[in-house]
């Protein structure tokens, strides 16, 4: 559990603009509030999905570590394979990269934008809003939702950094390092 990993550390939940505003945008919307908290000294470390970290960090911050990479591939949830999805099936994803690749593989499916955290998306699948979802396999595993994976979509090219967590800290903060 997270508590066991943290030991005497305190977990500080921070809601990002990416969490609040589901509209598209750049990667900064997933990290800027965490980076502000780091720079203000409110937190000592921020944990990010590497795929969400912009290529340029704010002055005074640096990436200080990464645990071993998880599975980098996307996963199909709600069906055992892409081939078994009927023509016209509604496949939900929030990713332009996934949308383009899914349409290139088979254009007779309806790829629809679906946003929200993993639990919200799984509820939308359960409620019949979509026939299947495409989510990062690593995220599903880290959240204990591995049983939801119908198959790994090895035919899709994963996002750069997908499956990798990174730790960000203030530059020169030896305690955090």
Q: Closest Cα to residue 132, out of 93, 74, 87?
A: 93
**Do 98 and 156 form a contact (C-beta atoms < 8 A)?**
yes
Q: Which helix (H) or strand (E) holds 46?
A: strand 46-49
Q: Would residue 173 show up in a list of annotated catalytic residues for this protein?
A: no
Catalytic residue among 21, 26, 44, 52: 52
3-state SS, residue 107: coil
Please report which helix (H) or strand (E) contains residue 113, including its range: strand 110-113
Instruction: Name the region of 25 (left: φ>0; alpha: ψ -120 to 50; beta: rest).
Output: left
Annotated active-site positions, please? 52
């Amino acid at each position: 559990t997270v508590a066991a990993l943290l030991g005497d550390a305190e977990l500080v939940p921070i809601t990002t603009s990416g969490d609040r505003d589901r509209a598209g945008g750049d990667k900064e919307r997933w990290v800027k509030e965490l980076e502000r908290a780091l720079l203000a000294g409110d937190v000592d470390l921020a944990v990010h999905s590497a795929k969400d970290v912009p290529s340029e960090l704010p002055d005074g911050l640096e990436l200080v570590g990464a645990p071993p990479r998880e599975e980098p591939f996307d996963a199909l949830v709600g069906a055992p394979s892409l081939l078994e999805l009927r023509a016209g099936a509604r496949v939900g994803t929030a990713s332009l990269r996934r949308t383009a690749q899914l349409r290139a593989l088979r254009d007779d499916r309806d790829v629809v934008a679906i946003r929200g955290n993993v639990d919200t998306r799984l509820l939308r699948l359960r409620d019949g809003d979509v026939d299947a979802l495409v989510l990062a396999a690593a995220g599903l595993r880290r959240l204990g939702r591995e049983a939801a994976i119908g198959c790994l979509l090895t035919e899709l090219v994963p996002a750069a950094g997908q499956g990798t967590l990174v730790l960000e800290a203030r530059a020169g903060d030896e305690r955090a390092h």
